[in-house]
Amino acid sequence: MLERRARLTAFAAGLVSAAGFAPLSLWPLTLAALALLLHLVSTAQSWQRAALLGWLFGVGHFTFGNGWIATAFTYQAEMPAWLGWIAVVLLALYLAVYPALAALGAWALARRGGWPLVLAFAGLWTVTEWLRRLFGEDTKTRFRPSYFPFTEPSAEFDFSCFKCHGTGKYENDRCRPCKGSGWIELGGSGMVHPNVLRAVNVDPTVYSGFAFGFGLDRMAALMYEIDDIRYLFENDVRFLEQFR
Ligand SMILES: [Zn+2]
């Protein structure tokens, strides 16, 4: 009974998630639907069930999301609408393989390191794809252990330099943005240090926390070769107007 309800919910969440895209563009619904899918997958008893939930989500998502194809059949090709809908559903059955694989991956990762690992992996993947779009397909990223005073353990996220493409040299000289290392730091993260929790009267044996920061200002400073990052926060319109 619970199984069946989970499957129906996954399918319904898939339908709702399509509303986040044009023409409705209700994107918070997509985020909520994805969170719901993650929750359902976390309760799955086996990898087969996790994959099935992802697949049902995908069938719902792509059937609703690609409904315009049925309309196109009728108006553009003057074919009956039912034929278009058959095409839409068949396409959805196939495309849903991808969310099924994603659900399977999330389930397997959660088994190894819990849901924080799934979220960390999803976040890193998203940032990596974003950097590849921004700086080119050959951009590499790395996630490595690091030190910060207020988190323990700590980790940092770097990406290969957009100017020297990771070589550390630019025009036979030491590359400036990466200071010759070939890597640029983008963000830091870690588990909140127990002493920090104690300082705000939170019991670290009961509660834990994670922290992360992401340097958008740093990125802007690197891209436009701004000498001092503080210029960005002085709100001098003459300065800010240079960047559009
Ligand atoms: Zn460089």
The residue type found at 230 is: R
With contact defined as beta carbons under 8 Å apart, do 41 and 106 qualify? Answer: yes
Please tell me the distance between residue 207's alpha carbon and the centre of ligand 1 in angstroms. 41
The one-character DSSP state at 137 is T
CB 55 within 8 A of CB 96: yes
Cα 139 to ligand 1 centroid, rounded to whole Å: 12
Tokens of 35: 């969170």
- Assess whether pLDDT exceeds 80 at residue 104: yes
- Summarize pLDDT for 200-232 with one digit per residue, the tens: 999 999 999 989 888 788 778 877 878 788 888
Angle between helices 97-135 and 47-65 (to 10 degrees): 70
pLDDT tens per residue, range 35-89: 999 999 988 999 999 999 999 999 999 999 998 888 888 888 788 888 889 999 9
Tell me what pLDDT residue 195 has: 96
Beta-carbon count within 10 A of 50 CB: 25
Residue pLDDT, tens place only, 162-183: 889 899 998 999 988 888 999 9
Cα separation of 176 and 169, whole Å?
Answer: 9
How remote is the CA of residue 161 from the centroid of ligand 1, in Å?
4
Ligand 1 centroid–CA 148 distance in Å is: 24
190 CA → ligand 1 middle, Å:
26
Amino acid present at 21: F
State the distance from the centre of ligand 1 to the C-alpha of 160, rounded, in angstroms.
Answer: 8
User: Which DSSP symbol is given to 224?
Assistant: T
Strands 151-160 and 183-192: antiparallel
The answer to whether residues 106 and 38 touch, using CB atoms and an 8 Å cutoff, is yes
Ligand 1 midpoint to CA 232 (Å) = 22
CA of 12 to the centre of ligand 1 (A): 47
Considering the domain 138-240, what is its CATH architecture? 2-Layer Sandwich (3.30)
The DSSP-derived string for 69-110 is HHHHHHHTS---HHHHHHHHHHHHHHHTHHHHHHHHHHHHHH
Give tens-digit pLDDT for 2-13.
Answer: 789 999 999 999
Question: Rounded to the nearest whole angstrom, what is the distance from the C-alpha of residue 127 to the centroid of ligand 1?
Answer: 19
Query: How many whole angstroms from 172 Cα to the centroid of ligand 1?
Result: 12
Ligand 1 centroid – CA 147 distance (Å): 23
Domain ranges of the chain: 2-112, 138-240
